[in-house]
Structure 1
Amino acid sequence: MKRFIYFDNLRSAAVILTVAALLLQPWHAFYEESAVIAISLVFFISAYFGASALRTHMIPFFLKDKWKHLGWPGLVLFFLGLEESWLTAALPVTSWVLLWLFLLFAGLALAKHMSHSFLQHRAAGRPSLLFLIGFFIVLSVLLFLCQTYLPKTLVLPYVAAFRPDWLILAAFAFALGVYAFRHRWFTASGYQPSGKLLFAFAVMVGVYAAIMGAHSVGIVTAIVPALLLLASIFGLSGWFRTQFNSHTAWSHTLHRISYGFFFVSEPIILHVMWFLQPLSAALWLKVVLTAVILVIYGFLLCRYALLHIPCFKSKG
C-alpha cells in the first residue's frame, strides 16, 4: 500500500518521546504521560502497516519477516537486560515492547488463518461514534480491573519490568490500527483526521497531567489514559498529515535510524547514568550529559552499524 510519510515522521516522533521519557524518568508525571502517548502511536501505526503486509503476503513469510525484525532484536534486549540488572541494578522497562508486538502480529496472523477474509477492506467511511464509545468503554473497564487487581509493575527477575496496564493499552492501540486499515482510514477515499483535532490532544495532555499527577485511584485513572490514547492517535495523526507530510534530509535520516535508536537508547541510558551516579553533580546536569552521549553515540552506532544489519534496515 502507499506509504504515508506523515506516519513515518509520527513514528520517529514517538521514538524521540520514548527516549525523552527514559531520560526524564525521575519526573514521574512526564514519564507516565509520554509512555501512554508513545505506546498508542507505535502500536497503532505498526498494526496499520502490518495488517497491510499480512493481507498481501503468505502467513509463513509474514511471521518469518516479523521474527527477523522484532523477535531477534527482542531476544537481544532481554539478554541485555540480564547484564544491565547485574551491572546497574536497574531493570529495563521497554524490553517487552518488541516481543509483545511480535505476539500481537502472531495473533493477527492466526485470525487471518481462521478467516481469510478477516483483513479484506470494508466500506470506507468515518469512525462511527458508536464504535469509538464502545472501544473507549471496554478499554476503560479493562484498565480499571487491571489497576485494581494486578500490581502496578510485574517483574521478570533479572530481565525486565513491565506494566500490565501498558500491555493492555498497546493491545488496544494495535487492534484500533487493524480496524483502521480494514475501513481504509487515512486514505484518499476514506477518513482523514483534521489537524484541528490537535486541540483535543492538547486538552487531554493537560487533563492527564492534572489528574494523574495527583496519584488518585479509581475509575478516573482508567478513563483518562483511554481518552489520551484516542486523542493521541487522531489528534497527532491529523496534525502531522497537514504539517509534516513530506521528508527533509534530516527527517528521512531520523526515520531510517529510529528503530535502531529505540533499540540502543535504553542500554546506553542505563549504563551512562550508572557511571555518572557517583559524581557529585546536579541531576539535571547528569541528564544533559547522558542525552549528549546518547545522541552522538546512538547516531553513530545506528547510522554506521545497525543499518547494515537486515533486521534494522528501513523499508522507507
Structure 2
Amino acid sequence: MKRLAYVDNLRVALTVLVVLHHVAVTYGNIPVWYYVETAQDPSGLALDVLVMFDQAFFMGFFFLLSGFFTPGSYDRKGGRPFLRDRLVRLGIPLLVFLLLLRPLVTFGIYREMDLPYWQFYLASWDPGPMWFVEVLLVFVAVYALVRRYGRTPRPVPQGAPGLAAIAGYTLALAAATFLWRLVVPTGLYVPVLGLPTPSHLPQYVSMFVLGVLAFRHGWFDALSRRAGRLGFAAAAACSLVLLPVRFATQGMPSELAAATWEAVFAVGITIGLLVTFRERFNRQGPRGRFLSDQAYTVYFIHPVVLVGLSYAFSGLHAAAIVKFAVVAVLALPLCWGLAYLVRSLPGAKRVL
C-alpha cells in the first residue's frame, strides 16, 4: 500500500490535538490528569470547551485511521506475523509505559500519599493515554480472528457512501450511544483497565469497523468536496442547535441531546477533515515526514513532557489560558524532539 501523505498529516494533526487536550485538562476545570492546576479565572472555561469538542471526535478518528491501515497490514503479513507485529508495536510501548513511565508521571501524586510506594504503585495501575493502544490490541485481535475463520475478502466496488448511508450511520451511532449510556454513563471510569471514556465505546468500535471498510471500498479517496463542506456544516449546525439543549435540560433529554450532538459532530468533522487534508495537505516534505515518523512516539511519551513542564511552571501566576499557551508552545517541539531521540535508540524503530 502506498503511503498516503494526507493521512500521515492527519495523524500528526490529531497527535498535536492530543497534546493540547491534555494541557487543557491540566489548567482547566476537569481534573483527570497526572498534574492539574484547577483554573481560578473564567479562561478555564475556554479550555473545558476545547476538551469537550476534542473528546467528541478525536479518539474515534484515531480508531478510524487504525482500522483503515489494518486490512492492508494483514494482507501483506498474514495472520500470525500480523498479530506478532501488532503485539510488538502496541504491546511493548504499553508495557513500557505501565512499568517505567507511569512512575515518573505519578510521583507527584505519591508525595501526597501516606502509604508505602509499592502499595501506591499497584493501586495506581493505569495505562493512562495508552488505553487507546490497549483497546486497539483487542480490536486487531478480533479482526485477525474474523479473517482467520471468516471468508476471504473479495474485490469490492469502489466509491464513497451516499448521503443516506452517512445519515443512517450517524443516527444509528446516536441511538447506540444513548442506549449504551443507560448502562455505562458518561464519566464512568474503569480501574486497572484505565478506560477514561467507556461511554464512547460505540463510536470507537464502529469507527474502527468503518476504517476497515473504507480501506476495502476506497472511501477516503472517493469522498467528494461537497461531502467535506456538508460535514463541516453539519458539525457547526448541530453544535448551535443541540448543545444549548444539552446544557439547558436534565435527565434523558440532556443525554439524548449529548449523544446526538457527539454522533453528528464526530461524523461531520471527520468527513470534513478527511476531505480538507486530502485536497490541501496531500504532500510531505522532509519536515512533514519527520513529524509523521515521530507521531506515534509522541503519543507514547508526551505525558512525561507535559508533567515535567507543568511542575516547572507551577510557580507562574497567570490566567489559565496563559499557562496553557506557555506550556503548549514549549511542549510540542519538546515532544517531537524527545520522540526523535527515543526512536534513535537501537531497535526502537522496530517498535515505534
Shorter-chain TM-score category? 0.7 to 0.9
**Shift of the alpha carbon at 1:159?**
7.3
In the alignment, the residues of structure 2 paired with residue 307 and residue 196 of structure 1 have an alpha-carbon distance, to the nearest angstrom, of 41
**Shift of the alpha carbon at 1:160?**
3.5
TM-score w.r.t. the length of structure 1 is 0.86
Q: Is the 8 A contact 2:309 2:327 kept in 1?
A: yes
**Shift of the alpha carbon at 1:64?**
0.9
**Shift of the alpha carbon at 1:22?**
1.2
Question: Residue 60 in 1 paired to residue 80 in 2?
Answer: yes
SS at match of 2:186: coil
- Larger mean Cα displacement after TM superposition, 244-253 or 84-93: 84-93
In structure 1, what is the equivalent of residue 142 of structure 2? 107
**Shift of the alpha carbon at 1:203?**
4.6
In the alignment, the residues of structure 2 paired with residue 268 and residue 159 of structure 1 have an alpha-carbon distance, to the nearest angstrom, of 23
In structure 1, what is the equivalent of residue 215 of structure 2? 181
Q: Is the 8 A contact 1:195 1:242 kept in 2?
A: no
In structure 1, what is the equivalent of residue 132 of structure 2? 97
TM-score w.r.t. the length of structure 2 is 0.78
Q: Residue type matched to 1:261 in 2?
A: V
Q: Residue type matched to 2:158 in 1?
A: A
Q: 1:126 to 1:284 in 2, by over 3 A?
A: closer
In the alignment, the residues of structure 2 paired with residue 151 and residue 233 of structure 1 have an alpha-carbon distance, to the nearest angstrom, of 24
Question: What is the identity percentage for the equivalent residue pairs of Structure 1 and Structure 2?
Answer: 23
Q: 1:276 aligns with which of 313, 316, 324?
A: 313
| Structure 1 vs Structure 2 CA RMSD | 2.7
**Shift of the alpha carbon at 1:42?**
1.5
- Larger mean Cα displacement after TM superposition, 280-289 or 177-186: 280-289
Q: Residue type matched to 2:91 in 1?
A: G
Question: Residue 149 in 1 paired to residue 183 in 2?
Answer: yes
Deviations 1:166-224 (A, max 9, x none): 3332211111111112222235xxx2332661453255146337744753523121111
In the alignment, the residues of structure 2 paired with residue 71 and residue 44 of structure 1 have an alpha-carbon distance, to the nearest angstrom, of 20
Greater radius of gyration (CA): 2
Deviations 1:224-257 (A, max 9, x none): 1111222123211111111011112321111111
In the alignment, the residues of structure 2 paired with residue 265 and residue 278 of structure 1 have an alpha-carbon distance, to the nearest angstrom, of 21
Question: Residue 131 in 1 paired to residue 131 in 2?
Answer: no
Structure 1 unaligned residues grouped into runs of 5+? none
Question: Residue 201 in 1 paired to residue 222 in 2?
Answer: no
Structure 2 unaligned residues grouped into runs of 5+? 29-46, 111-123
Question: Residue 288 in 1 paired to residue 329 in 2?
Answer: no
**Shift of the alpha carbon at 1:65?**
0.8
In the alignment, the residues of structure 2 paired with residue 13 and residue 102 of structure 1 have an alpha-carbon distance, to the nearest angstrom, of 23
Q: Count residues in correspondence.
A: 309
Q: 1:255 aligns with which of 283, 292, 299?
A: 292
Counterparts in 2 of 1:1-316, with a 5 A limit? 1-25=1-25, 26=28, 27-79=47-99, 80-81=101-102, 84-88=105-109, 93-117=128-152, 119-157=153-191, 160=194, 162-187=196-221, 191-194=222-225, 197-198=228-229, 200-201=231-232, 203-205=234-236, 207-208=238-239, 211-212=242-243, 214-215=246-247, 216=249, 217-277=254-314, 279-308=316-345, 309-313=348-352
Q: Is the 8 A contact 2:235 2:268 kept in 1?
A: yes
Q: 1:166 to 1:269 in 2, by over 3 A?
A: farther
In the alignment, the residues of structure 2 paired with residue 153 and residue 58 of structure 1 have an alpha-carbon distance, to the nearest angstrom, of 39
Q: Residue type matched to 1:102 in 2?
A: L
Q: Is the 8 A contact 1:6 1:245 kept in 2?
A: yes
Q: 1:57 to 1:113 in 2, by over 3 A?
A: same
In the alignment, the residues of structure 1 paired with residue 278 and residue 259 of structure 2 have an alpha-carbon distance, to the nearest angstrom, of 29
- Larger mean Cα displacement after TM superposition, 174-183 or 134-143: 134-143
